[in-house]
Amino acid sequence: MTVLEQRPTAPRALFTRPPNRPLMALAALMAVTAVVTAVLAVVDPVQITGRNGWLKPLKFAISIGIYAVTLAWLLDRLPERRRRAGRIGAVVVTAALVVEMVVIVGAVAAGTTSHFNVSSPLATTLWTTMGTAIAAVWLVTLVLAALLWRSPDDAARQLAVRAGLVIGLAGMAVAFLMTSPTPEQLDSFAGVAGAHAVGAPDDGPGLPLLGWSTTGGDLRVPHFVGMHALQFLPLLAFGLEAMARRVPALTDPGTRFRVVAFASGGYVVLLVLLTLQALAGIPVTEPLGFLR
Of the given ranges (120-134, 185-199, 212-226), which has the lowest mean pLDDT? 185-199
185 or 43: which leads in pLDDT: 43
- Please say which residue of 125, 152, 179 terminates a domain: 152
Instruction: Name the residue among 24, 238, 140 with its Cα closest to residue 148.
Output: 140
241: pLDDT strictly greater than 50: yes
166: pLDDT strictly greater than 90: yes
Are 145 and 170 spatial neighbours (Cβ–Cβ below 8 Å)?
no
- DSSP string across 20-57: PHHHHHHHHHHHHHHHHHHHHHHH---EETTEETTHHH
pLDDT band at 152 (very low <50, low <70, confident <90, very high): low
pLDDT band at 7 (very low <50, low <70, confident <90, very high): very low
Do 183 and 147 share a structural domain? no
Are 231 and 66 spatial neighbours (Cβ–Cβ below 8 Å)?
yes
Query: Tell me, what's the pLDDT at 2?
Result: 43
Do 178 and 261 share a structural domain? yes
Query: Tell me, what's the pLDDT at 288?
Result: 63
Query: Tell me, what's the pLDDT at 149?
Result: 79
14: pLDDT strictly greater than 80: no
Residue type, 59: K
Domain that holds residue 56: 15-152
* Number of residues assigned to the chain: 292
225: pLDDT strictly greater than 70: yes
Residue 9 maps to a domain: no
Q: Which residues pair with 48 in a beta bridge?
A: 51
Residue 6 maps to a domain: no
75: pLDDT strictly greater than 90: no
- From CA 107, how far away is CA 116, in angstroms rounded? 12
Q: Which of 91-105, 118-132, 191-205 has the highest mean pLDDT?
A: 91-105
* CATH label of the domain that carries residue 84: 1.20.120
Instruction: Name the residue among 190, 198, 84 with its Cα closest to residue 143.
Output: 84
Number of domains into which the chain is organized: 2
Q: Which residues pair with 250 in a beta bridge?
A: none
210: pLDDT strictly greater than 50: yes
Average pLDDT over the chain reads: 86
- From CA 127, how far away is CA 113, in angstroms rounded? 10
Residue 261 maps to a domain: yes
pLDDT band at 16 (very low <50, low <70, confident <90, very high): low
pLDDT band at 8 (very low <50, low <70, confident <90, very high): very low
Query: Tell me, what's the pLDDT at 9?
Result: 45
pLDDT band at 264 (very low <50, low <70, confident <90, very high): very high
Do 162 and 246 share a structural domain? yes
Query: Tell me, what's the pLDDT at 15?
Result: 60
Instruction: Name the residue among 216, 215, 268, 262 with its Cα closest to residue 236.
Output: 262
Q: What percent of the chain has pLDDT over 70?
A: 91
Do 141 and 163 share a structural domain? no
Residues 6 or more apart whose CB falls under 8 angstroms from that of 88 comprise none
Residue 1 maps to a domain: no
276: pLDDT strictly greater than 60: yes
